[in-house]
Amino acid sequence: MSKKQKTIIFIILITIVIIFLIPKINKYLEKRRIANAKINVELKTNLKVPFGSEVYIQDFISSINGQLTENKQIDTSSLGTKTVSFEYINDDKIKVPYQYEIDVIDNTPPLIWLGNTYTILTSFEGKITDKIMCVDDLDDKPDCHILGDYDIKTPGRYNLTFEAVDKSGNKSTQPFTLIVKEPTKNNPSQNTSSPELTGQKFEDIIANYKTDKTKIGIDVSGWQGDIDFQKVKDAGVEFVFIKVGGTIGIDGKYYVDSKFKRNIEGFNEVGIPVGVYVYTYAKTSKNARADALWVMNEIKNYQVDLPIVYDWENWSFYNEFELSLNSLTNNAKTFFDTIEEQGYTGALYSSKTYLEKVWRNTDREVWLAHYTKQTSYEGSYKYWQMCDDGLVDGINGHVDINIMYK
């Protein structure tokens, strides 16, 4: 090997070594630079935040010698200690990593759905605590009990306190009077004639509520019997929500509403825009996803222009579900996520009271049920079910009337 060749090989080897070492040297120098960088971050004294709060990195910093590269939102969707990591550019223009810890806590007491009195008959069987809705934001099964002495078989008035405590120690109390009565005998009515059907005429609803920003519609199920779809359209109905069906109880089998097929075919034929709803008993996200898949299979051959509505209203026996309010809302979100994967839109149906006190934000359209001439609900809603005693030509008997806001 000539001297020239040896020189070339040497230069190549030196070059390879330099190329290999330069990144490591730069990395080392950068570490030294950061290690020697001035870090002056002072945190606020309160590093506890309620579950589900909207908070950001900057919210817990009282002073810092520089600027955050990004003020990200902190995930507070689970309880416990959270490590918050971020970077900032200090006053010497050096990018510095930093981290601190916060505690996500549950400070919301359970909800007790109970008025000043609660009445039962001496024939009542079971536990009163199973019948009074007692639910927590995060605890699937809060400790719910009654303080005081009473006898469900002895008529009288008992002054008691209902108490509920969740796993985080948050407590709610509700004083109430338990009224125990003897069953009364019903006197049969002497009037056997059928009363004249009264209710709110659809034409009156149109006159009072129809504007360039609203549409007036109805919702129907097997309860309305055989509908004359053309007459309904001629009456001015602009949209309809149709019951598809649901499950028979918790973890029950699916059923299709007795008039679903006839209703959706009929309304499709006359050209009235259709939405559908499923009456659900979903206890888990798995149940909710199954409900979504089932309803999409039932409607796949029909025109559905409006949302698929999630209708969960099993409030009278809510305790049986052992379901926190957070889980209840997450189940609904699972339902919506599943149908949206297939291009459908979703909406949540519920009454004013439960929307205000029970449901958490699902980030979906709301179908509000509030039977009144002017709703006082202050939340956002797309549809308003304003009465359940509507009279529409083409339908025998009462029907729910709804207003859609454009």
Same domain, 97 and 118: no
Same domain, 270 and 383: yes
371 within domain boundaries: yes
Nearest in space to 330 (alpha carbons), one of 365, 293, 360: 360
Burial of 222 (0-12, 13-18, 19+ CB in 10 A): middle
Find out whether 269 and 337 touch, Cβ atoms under 8 Å: no
Any idea which residue has 């920003």 for tokens? Answer: 213
18 within domain boundaries: no
Average pLDDT over residues 316-328: 93
Query: 347 - beta bridge partners?
Result: 309, 365
Same domain, 401 and 271: yes
25 within domain boundaries: no
Write the pLDDT tens digit of every residue in 125-182.
Answer: 999 999 999 999 999 999 999 999 999 999 999 999 999 999 999 999 999 999 999 9
The whole-model pTM stands at 0.83
Give the tokens for residue 332: 């609904």
HSE-CB at 58 with a 13 A cutoff on CA atoms is 9
In this prediction, residue 155 carries a pLDDT of: 96
What three-state secondary structure class fits 313?
Answer: coil
Domain that residue 393 falls in:
200-405
More confident call, 190 vs 280: 280
Same domain, 205 and 284: yes
HSE-CB at 189 with a 13 A cutoff on CA atoms is 5
What is the amino acid identity at position 296? M
Instruction: State the Cα–Cα distance between residues 197 and 367, nearest whole angstrom.
Output: 27
Write the pLDDT tens digit of every residue in 263-277.
Answer: 999 999 999 999 999
Instruction: State the Cα–Cα distance between residues 176 and 231, nearest whole angstrom.
Output: 51
Same domain, 378 and 274: yes
For residue 34, pLDDT over 90 is answered with: no
Same domain, 352 and 216: yes
Same domain, 123 and 238: no
Find out whether 15 and 39 touch, Cβ atoms under 8 Å: no
HSE-CB at 365 with a 13 A cutoff on CA atoms is 17
The helix, strand and coil proportions of the chain, stated in percent and rounded to the nearest 5, come to 30, 35, 40
In this prediction, residue 27 carries a pLDDT of: 62
125 within domain boundaries: yes
Same domain, 147 and 84: no
Q: What percent of the chain has pLDDT over 70?
A: 91
Write the pLDDT tens digit of every residue in 191-202.
Answer: 555 566 789 999
Instruction: State the Cα–Cα distance between residues 353 and 329, nearest whole angstrom.
Output: 16
- Provide the number of structural domains found in the chain: 3
CATH number of residue 223's parent domain = 3.20.20.80
